[in-house]
Structure 1
Amino acid sequence: MISANEYFDGNVKSLGYESATGKSTLGVMEAGTYEFATSLHETMNVVEGEMTVLLPGSSDWVTYKAGEAYQIEANEKFQVKVSGQTSYLCQYK
């Protein structure tokens, strides 16, 4: 089954699904700054656009572009800045 998710007053939207490799969401973010919390390990793949990310325990913002990915452990918070519409694939473990 496909689930629809909406966050931050509709500025972040995603579709959730489950495949042979596990649970994933495919989504789009509007320009803005967001803070997310994880409940599972996440691998965030940037599909189009770019994200500037402040990962847990880091004081440096890092930019990830289309084709790049980063990981966040379970039960963490992280911040994301996007300057234009950016799409992503988030895979959960």
Structure 2
Amino acid sequence: MSTQIDQVSVVKKSNIYFDGKCVSHTVILADGSKKTVGVIFPSSLTFNTGAPEIMEVVGGVCKVRLDGASDWHTYSAGQEFKVAGNSKFDIETVETLDYVCHFG
């Protein structure tokens, strides 16, 4: 996985969710596609999705339970997981998690 995203525009206003437990910035690529780059501080959260997502873990470790699943899976730096559109997932972090969310 690449360590940087080249040739992007960055939306200056941050996306702040769950009382500051998740903070990200939206980046817009040359082709118009969007990603978010952010952190999730130690917490247990449930995210709802609109579009399908690929969550790329850049740093840290998390446990994830996808919508409808009973099992939790652990992901660490260099791994990713896919989330269906119009779905949700539970995520638990015990250390700050750096991530990139790829939409579509």
Name the TM-score, length of structure 1 as normaliser.
Answer: 0.95
Could you tell me which residue of structure 2 aligns to residue 88 of structure 1? 99
- Give the superposed CA RMSD: 1.1
- Where in structure 2 are there 5+ consecutive unaligned residues? 1-9
Larger Rg computed on CA atoms: 2
CA–CA distance in structure 1, aligned partners of residues 66 and 94 of structure 2: 18
The count of aligned residue pairs is 93
- 1:25-44 alignment runs, 5 A limit: 25-44=36-55
Percent identity between matched residues is: 35
Could you tell me which residue of structure 2 aligns to residue 9 of structure 1? 19
> Which has the bigger relative contact order, CA under 8 A and spacing at least 6?
1
Structure with greater strand share of residues? 1
Name the TM-score, length of structure 2 as normaliser.
Answer: 0.85
**Deviation by residue 1:17-65 (Cα, 9 ceiling, x = unmatched):** 1114621000001101000000001000000001100011210000000
- Where in structure 1 are there 5+ consecutive unaligned residues? none
SS in 2 for 1:9: helix
Q: Which runs of 4+ in 1 moved over 4 A?
A: none
